[in-house]
Amino acid sequence: MAAVHVAPVPKAIATALVMAATILVVLDQTIATVALPHMQAALGATPETINWVLTSYILATSVGIPLTGWLSGRVGRARLFGICIIGFTISSAVCGFAVSLPMMVAARLVQGFFGAFLMPMSQSFLYDMNAPSQQVRAMTIWGVGVMVGPLAGPVLGGYLTETFDWRWVFFINVPIGLVAALGIFATLPAFPAVRRKFDHLGYALIVVALCSMQLALDRGSQLDWFDSTEILIECGISVSAFWMLLFHLFNAREPIFSLALFRDRSFSAALVMTTTVMPVMIAATALLPSLLQTLMGYPATLAGLLSLPRGLAMTVGIILGGRLFRHFGARLQVVLGLCFTIFSMWLHTRIELNMDSHLIIWAGLAQGLGTGLAATVLNFVAVAHAPVALRTDAAALYNLARNTGSSVMIAVFTAILAHNIQVNHAEIGAHVGSANAPFLLSQMMGGTDLAERLAAMANAEVTRQAMMIAYIDDYWLMMWVMLAVVPLAILLGNERPAARSDEVIIAE
């Protein structure tokens, strides 16, 4: 491989085009959520089946990501990136024109499959296009788009749905995608990639494991989790497939993910932390809007606005993290970020029913800042410690771990929340009965009708208190998970990014 210089203007244009495609993918993970009720009416779906608009996208993404390394070696990294943008754009247009739920789900499957390649490839592209002295800044740019994009999705989706129509949630991708695709083919240079045989068995095991796990997570709350035979079967298939995959990776000559990646201690630690830290933050963010609207009576608009400080702080944390990385080193900066997130979880446990929004804002600021500081290091380590030829594989594995962890954490904390609501309701309700003085007094003064109304009011308040306690329990558990992850930061070492270099390896 030869070292070549990349002209500043084309590199800036290529960076903008790569990030435009990346932001489209992360926006589509959340932009459709607010439009689901409108889609349900237009497509003739039920409340249960309309969720497949989201589930199909997640499933297709999980199926596509493991193919990134192999396909990039067969097709070429830059060429594959352009093809995927075109496929994503066309499938987005089909989603907008969908007239039935099967048509929409099929289009979302295609959209998610093509979009699966764009995030890991964009991460490796931005790293490879820049000199070592600029690679942290490149990962900072990538991190801002990936972390803030999902927060902006519901806001943009709500605006497009209310101002135009729910179909514009998908149509908005078309002009941006076309410009990005044409620009990518014109400006993106060639990148090194490994051409290898396709690991059919490894890929099949990953698909079976991830799809069965995702189905169990999506349907678990509807079927009462492990009381359902279907969920037990899906979990059994997933665990078995993961177990066989582990043995296959150690024994195959050319596995779908090279074991050389895991020989690096820092990469392995970053992967484990990505599977826990980022997903826990996403789960915490997902729980808060329902808490604000259901228990504290906030309108949807205000509940959405209260997530803005978190997004702004996350942006600041990622940008600031890129500058501090050279001074603090990987280990210290991740620990600092985790301390902020642990503090934010503790603040969330202080939430009360009759309080203003100040504590929520401060908790969001601490959470966003801590997540941004930690994400900067993890995004960098995930690709910096991989051999150049395996960088796309490393980025693919990193993104797969984050996506899978997010699905698991959201499902786990949602299930714990529902369980604790029932337990708390039973415990609190045991102390409220017809023998209590208020009920006896109401029966004597107002008769049965007044007693029934009073009982309904009491039940509503018991439910409200039970839900509040359950949310607090969830945030306590998140805090302890964050504390348990802190020791892993030691494995990251105390490396600092390179201070200066004038060459970038980009040619095959």
Q: Do 206 and 193 belong together in one domain? A: no
Q: Do 362 and 217 belong together in one domain? A: no
User: Are the C-beta atoms of residues 283 and 456 closer than 8 Å to each other?
Assistant: no
Q: Do 136 and 229 belong together in one domain? A: no
Q: Do 58 and 115 belong together in one domain? A: yes
Tally of domains in the chain: 3
**Given 253, 275, 296, which residue is the final one in a domain?**
253
Closest to 133 (Cα-Cα) out of 504, 385, 494: 504
- Predicted confidence at residue 463, as pLDDT, reads 78
- Predicted confidence at residue 506, as pLDDT, reads 35
- Predicted confidence at residue 134, as pLDDT, reads 75
- Predicted confidence at residue 47, as pLDDT, reads 63
Could you count the other beta carbons within 10 Å of the beta carbon of residue 190?
12
Could you count the other beta carbons within 10 Å of the beta carbon of residue 487?
10
- Asked, for residue 506, whether it belongs to a domain, the answer is no
- Predicted confidence at residue 496, as pLDDT, reads 66
What backbone phi and psi angles, to 5 degrees, belong to 46? -100, 165
- Asked, for residue 168, whether it belongs to a domain, the answer is yes
User: What contacts 15, CB < 8 A, 6 or more positions away?
Assistant: 126, 129, 138, 141
Burial class, 240, CB count within 10 angstroms (exposed 0-12 / middle 13-18 / buried 19+): middle
Q: Do 99 and 205 belong together in one domain? A: no
Q: What's the rounded Cα separation, in Å, for the pair 391 and 128?
A: 9
pTM of the model: 0.74
- Asked, for residue 501, whether it belongs to a domain, the answer is no
Q: Do 476 and 352 belong together in one domain? A: yes
**Given 253, 276, 295, which residue is the final one in a domain?**
253
- Asked, for residue 508, whether it belongs to a domain, the answer is no
b/e map 48-84, b = 16+ CB within 10 Å? eebbbbbbbbbbbbbbbbbbbbbbbbebbbbebbbbb
What CATH number did the domain enclosing 482 receive?
Answer: 1.20.1250.20
Please give the full DSSP string across 229-278, using - where no structure is assigned.
HHHHHHHHHHHHHHHHHHHHHHH-SS-SS-GGGGGSHHHHHHHHHHHHHH
pLDDT along the chain (508 residues), means of 10: 47 79 78 72 74 77 81 79 89 89 88 86 77 74 73 70 80 86 75 70 86 81 79 90 86 77 80 82 76 73 73 82 78 88 90 80 88 83 73 79 79 81 78 55 52 66 82 90 87 64 36
| Domain coverage including residue 395 | 263-495
Q: Do 234 and 285 belong together in one domain? A: no
Q: Do 4 and 33 belong together in one domain? A: yes
Could you count the other beta carbons within 10 Å of the beta carbon of residue 297?
10
CA dihedral 375, 217, 71, 177 (to 10 degrees): -70
The gap between the terminal CA atoms of the chain, to the nearest Å, is 6
Q: Do 249 and 184 belong together in one domain? A: no
- Asked, for residue 393, whether it belongs to a domain, the answer is yes
b/e map 354-377, b = 16+ CB within 10 Å? eeebeebbebbbbbbbbbbbbbbb
Q: Do 240 and 318 belong together in one domain? A: no
What backbone phi and psi angles, to 5 degrees, belong to 196? -140, 170
Q: Do 188 and 88 belong together in one domain? A: yes
- Asked, for residue 500, whether it belongs to a domain, the answer is no
Q: Do 450 and 477 belong together in one domain? A: yes
> Token pair of 363, please?
């908790």
